[in-house]
Structure 1
Amino acid sequence: MVRTATAQQGSAAAPATVLASAATGVIDLIERNRGDPDSILGNARVRSVDLSSPYNELILAQFCNLFEEAARQTGNDNFGLHFGKSFRPQHLGAIGYAAISSPTLYTALRNMEVYFPAHQGQSSFGLIPDGDMLWLSYRIFDPHIEQRRQDAELSIGMFLNIFRHALGQDWTPLEIRFEHQAPDGASEHEKVFGAPVRFGRRTNAFAFRRCELNTRMPTQDPYLFSVIEPFLKSRFDLSRNPEDFASKVRNQIKLHLGDVAPTISEMAEIFGMSDHSFHRELREHGLTFQELVTAARKELALHYVNDPTIPLTEVAHSLGYSELSAFSRAFRGWTGLSPQRYRRSR
């Protein structure tokens, strides 16, 4: 595995990264849109050599900037949407092959959820139950990355193509949701996804039927998965890296926060552990579950309060607080300001 010149190995303050495989084909799409690859890469501070191997690491902020800059310079406001639409699962590299070599769609998604931090940092990928439906949710939590519309749209397109690999190219989700506000030309999104698209929502996600998880992957290959898994494990080992473990648990808590906070038993099940084993992991890393719940709530609270379009009562309920007053007390403890004053100050 090769790191780019700007990624700092071994530093606690190292920025979040993503494997360069996620940018496979971006130069071709820039050229088809009559853009200047050198100018776009230069402005995004990405070198062409950084894209030469799928195992190279790109700083996630620069990866997002690459697609934002490509949309700006080519005049194609839906650049990320088009990139994700045509992206083949194999081009995601190790995690893409892990998905399509799995026996069923369920195990494909489970393997992606477990090993997603090996592919991309400070991000969440996971399933959220909703009656007889499930939502596949994806978000970047790096607070330094503010412009990420293109990444959200290309990523949802990539993940949809894993479903279409199993369910056929005509398969469509039940609904699509994005964090960002509706852009100009948003009608094209429904044509591309074949489903209703909602903007300005809590996360980037799409809904599908729970029964579809049982679909067998047409390219299941246990041997290929056995070759890929050690590489993914080498990049992300919960027991070896305490900070990765804490980050992974926090991100899962964020995905499952709702009217009430998830329980420790629910988190243990998500990680495929018994309650006892999960408790032991927390102790060995010097963590408590309540600390992680509080940290997850704080990170999400700061994100939501920064968005003036989200009512504060909705923020409170999204974080598992039954009343706005309880949320306001917690927020004041974190920042020294009430949510209202903090929002005005920003």
Structure 2
Amino acid sequence: MSTIADSSEVTAPAKVLSAAADGAAQIFEANGGCLDRIFGDAGIMQEELDSPVSEINLSQYCKMFETAAAQTHNDNIGLQFGRHFQPQQLGMLGYSAISSPTLAAGLRNMETFFPAHQEQTSFGLIQDDGILWLSYRILDPRIRNRRQDAELSLGMFCNVFRAALGDDWAPLEVRFEHAAPENAHEHETAFNAPVVFNRRTNAIAFRRSDLDAKMPAHDPYLFSMVKAFMESRCKTSDDPVDFATVVRNEIKMQLGSSIPSLCEIASILGMPSLSFQKRLRKHGLSYNDILRAARHELALHYMDDPSMPLTEIAFNLGYSELSAFSRAFRNWTGMSPQRYRRVSAN
């Protein structure tokens, strides 16, 4: 992928809307935390959180929860925060989901507008043999301690599903990129699902049929206002990393026995092909580079499942032959798929 789409090349600090911290002070205090110390150590002034549309530094946001976990001696404070965090608390991003007609539309709108809510972050759907995964990962390599953010974020996203499917809904499986904590049993209780750690991304698995669920709070008028606000933020930031992430996520969603064309992705994103190409060129991006990055990322996701045959992985990535996939995989990782699996198993 071109270097401009690589988050390691981005120097500006990523931002997140302060709505993501709605209620944080209350849970910190309930756990015996000192707000002055927590906010002070994170470099955040508490009044910065008063407006849901104000921006705070994403690194400081993550540090705030990591500091709170250490100070309150509650390693699962992020997990507990996210478990009770309702979509409305996410502000405009949450309303873009629950004011949509269906869960499918809601998730698509969240994916489209996520860069306006939180920068330098991958958020999108991945297909996997009849199961869908909602994947979330901070791309900024400078933010290393992000366990609390991952756990609270997946909890938040689960509540978007419950808004459509009811309080008893549970994911099929939950994955985290960080190592398993000592008290990991609480995670399976919180999600009511199997939870695994040390994965390449944070993700929740769900059935494709879940997407058909209606959003009870569907409101076209509210959505029109939310859409206008989020689109204005997207145009203001116009971050090439965020745009590349949206395109890459959509390609991953469409990959299968065939490879989605530039025109198909442009149509899905609601853009004329020429406008889509112009925006790629404006950011110094190549569609083929993003396609290769999407296949690379999705290949690593599939390789995490040792029971998935390599021929099936190749087919799901749009390769007609295993040999073509093996050559591409060797270019990505420096080793064959077979050796990669042996090394991973060890």
TM-score for the superposition, normalised by structure 1: 0.78
- 1:303-325 Cα deviation digits (max 9, x unpaired): x9xxxx999xxxxx89x7834x7
Aligned twin of 1:136 = 134
Give the deviation of 1:295 after TM superposition.
6.5
Alignment of 1:135-154 (within 5 A): 135-154=133-152
* Structure possessing the higher relative contact order (Cα contacts under 8 Å, 6 or more residues apart): 2
Identity %: 54
CA–CA distance in 2 between the matches of 1:265 and 1:206? 29
Give the deviation of 1:237 after TM superposition.
2.7
Aligned twin of 1:158 = 156
CA gap of 1:330–1:89, structure 2 versus 1, over 3 A, is closer
Aligned twin of 2:3 = none
Unaligned runs of 5+ in 2: 1-9, 307-312, 318-323, 335-339, 341-346
**Aligned AA (1:179):** E
Contact 2:121–2:242 under 8 Å retained in 1: no
Aligned twin of 2:226 = 228
**Aligned AA (1:142):** D
Aligned twin of 1:89 = 87
Give the deviation of 1:17 after TM superposition.
0.4
Give the deviation of 1:196 after TM superposition.
0.8
CA–CA distance in 2 between the matches of 1:163 and 1:206? 11
Alignment of 1:104-253 (within 5 A): 104-237=102-235, 244-250=242-248
CA–CA distance in 2 between the matches of 1:17 and 1:218? 31
Aligned to 2:325, which of 322, 325, 329? Answer: 322
CA gap of 1:31–1:265, structure 2 versus 1, over 3 A, is same
Structure 1 stretches of 4+ with a deviation exceeding 6 A read: 254-262, 295-298
CA–CA distance in 1 between the matches of 2:47 and 2:259? 44
- CA RMSD for the aligned pairs? 3.5
CA–CA distance in 1 between the matches of 2:81 and 2:209? 29
CA gap of 1:241–1:144, structure 2 versus 1, over 3 A, is closer
Give the deviation of 1:279 after TM superposition.
3.4
CA–CA distance in 2 between the matches of 1:239 and 1:33? 36
Give the deviation of 1:173 after TM superposition.
1.0
Give the deviation of 1:244 after TM superposition.
4.6
Contact 1:268–1:278 under 8 Å retained in 2: yes
- 1:122-174 Cα deviation digits (max 9, x unpaired): 00111112233211111110111111111010000001001111111111111
- 1:211-264 Cα deviation digits (max 9, x unpaired): 121111111111111122111111103996656534543565678889998654
CA–CA distance in 2 between the matches of 1:239 and 1:59? 15
Q: Secondary structure at the match of 1:108?
A: helix
Alignment of 1:65-80 (within 5 A): 65-80=63-78
Contact 1:238–1:245 under 8 Å retained in 2: no
Contact 2:98–2:215 under 8 Å retained in 1: yes
